[in-house]
Amino acid sequence: MSNMASRPIVLVGMMGAGKTSVGRTIADRLGIPFQDLDHEVERRTGKRVATIFAEQGEEAFRALETELLGELLSRSNSPVVVSTGGGIVTIAKNREMLNDPTLNVVLLEASIDQILERLPDDDARPLLRGDRRSVLESLWRSREAEYRRVAKFVVQTNGLSIDEVAQAVMRELQVAV
C-alpha cells in the first residue's frame, strides 16, 4: 500500500453522494478499517439519527458528531477510511479538524439529479422533508464552499457505480491494490 493510504482517508459530500458505500468499498479493497460517522453515532447512542433529531434536535446530533469525529481522527495514526455525514462541514470545529494536513479529505461530488436518484424514499434523513430538490439545492448552496475548502481531492461521481467511484478515489490518492 502506498504512503497515501497510511493516513486516514476521509470522505465528505452531500447526502446521497455515496460516502458510506464508497468508503466501505475502498476500505475492503485496501484491507483497512472502515468507520462511518452516522453509524458510529447510532451505535454509541443506540438511537437512529432521525430519532436523535426528533427527540433532541439537530444541535444535539451535531455535538455528538463533533465528539465522535474527534475521537475517530485522534485514534487514526493508522490507516482508516472515515465516511462523514453531509452536514459535517457546517460546524467550525469539524472544519478545523478536517483541515489537518495529514488527512486525505476527499469530496465526492454529485449533481442534485444524481443525488435524488440515489437517495432512498425513506425517512432516515430528517433534513430531507418536503420538496427534496429545493432542500438539496439550498444545502448544496450553503455548503459547497466549505466542502471545497476542506477537501484536498475532488472526485466526480455522476453516472458512476460505487466500484467506479472507489477506483477513481484510489487513483486520485495514488493508492493501488
Closer residue to ligand S3P, CB minimum distance, 5 or 14: 14
Q: Is 33 in the site for ligand S3P (CB under 6 A)?
A: no
3-state DSSP percent of the chain in helix, strand and coil, to 5: 55, 10, 35
Radius of gyration of the chain measured on its C-alpha atoms: 15
CA distance 39 to 110: 22
Q: Is 49 in the site for ligand S3P (CB under 6 A)?
A: yes
Q: Is 86 in the site for ligand S3P (CB under 6 A)?
A: yes
Residue with cell 477513481: 168
Supply φ then ψ for residue 157, to 5 degrees: -120, -5
Smallest separation (angstroms) from ligand S3P to the CB of 40: 11
Smallest separation (angstroms) from ligand S3P to the CB of 149: 17
153-156 and 9-12 beta bridge pairing: unpaired
Smallest separation (angstroms) from ligand S3P to the CB of 14: 7
Residues that bind ligand S3P (CB under 6 A): 15, 19-20, 38, 49, 85-87, 125-127
